[in-house]
Amino acid sequence: AQTVTQSQPEMSVQEAETVTLSCTYDTSESDYYLFWYKQPPSRQMILVIRQEAYKQQNATENRFSVNFQKAAKSFSLKISDSQLGDAAMYFCAYRSGNSGYALNFGKGTSLLVTP
Amino acid sequence: GAVVSQHPSRVICKSGTSVKIECRSLDFQATTMFWYRQFPKKSLMLMATSNEGSKATYEQGVEKDKFLINHASLTLSTLTVTSAHPEDSSFYICSARDHGGTSGRASYEQYFGPGTRLTVT
């Protein structure tokens, strides 16, 4: 079974600064997808960014970018120019490319943004 | 587009009763839906995969007779918590996979509902 590890239960960043959230995963598969989801206090899950394992280029969505290191099985999320609205729980998730479409989530990182 | 609704958003029920939670894909067809459970300050744990027109696939440790899942149409899956007990109190979230046939969107996208908070007294 694939495991997703987020080793930072909580992180804090000042507004306008940059923060990196860590995620590592364990898999023997070669075809898979990785995701970062944001869960604000409303608890609605919001897709932040996704990465296909076969793509070498790191995904980027505006202020959000990832550092995907396939050999190291690492998938960190960088948030640039942090905003107060970025405060939330962030979950790293894995999805197999071979069987089913269910997501396997890490334990999450609570991000606090201070003015 | 790509909206998933859940009803109710909150429900309180007495111990021993059953409660049904609905998950609907509003603007796309979903052959597959997923049910997750989330405890306070915890991650989402997959309970079961719901496939339209067939039996749900439950994760290890999830009682299929307690958590009944029905996926009778391409836009609706229901989760019924039978004979609820206080330990069933939790936040239940569904997601729906857009199979891409009607919307043209990538079939690997999953869209989450807003969740249902169940409290069993």
Angstrom distance (rounded) from CA A67 to CA A84 = 23
How far off is chain A from B63, nearest CA to CA, in Å? 18
The reply to whether residue A101 touches residue B43, judged by beta carbons under 8 angstroms, is: no
Count the residues in chain B: 121
| CB < 8 Å from A in window 1-60 of B | 32, 34, 38, 42-46, 49
Query: How far is A43 from A12, CA to CA, in rounded Å?
Result: 20
pLDDT per position as a tens digit, B66-118: 999 999 898 999 999 999 999 999 999 999 987 765 555 555 678 999 999 99
Percent residues over pLDDT 70 in chain B: 91
| Contact B114/A at CB under 8 A | yes
Q: Which residues pair with B52 in a beta bridge?
A: none
Continuous H helices in chain A: none
CB B15: neighbour CB atoms within 10 A?
A: 12
CA dist B38 and A38 (Å) reads: 14
Residue B28 pLDDT greater than 70, yes or no:
yes
Whole-number mean pLDDT of chain B? 90
Q: Do B108 and A101 touch (CB under 8 A)?
A: yes
Give the whole-angstrom CA distance, residue A43 versus residue B92.
Answer: 11
Q: Can you give the pLDDT at residue B115?
A: 97
Cβ–Cβ gap A43/B91 under 8 Å: yes
**Nearest Cβ partner for B97 among A45, A101, A108:** A101
Q: What is the pLDDT of residue B23?
A: 97
- B68-79 residue pLDDT tens: 999 989 899 999
Whole-number Å distance between alpha carbons of B8 and A87: 26
Provide the CA B78 distance to its chain's centre, in angstroms. Answer: 6
- Closest residue on chain B to A44 (Cα): B114
Yes or no: say if A64 and A75 are a contact pair by the CB < 8 Å rule: no
- What pLDDT sits at residue B102? 54
Residue A25: which residues within 8 A CB-CB, separation 6 or more?
A2, A3, A4, A5, A34, A73, A75, A92, A94
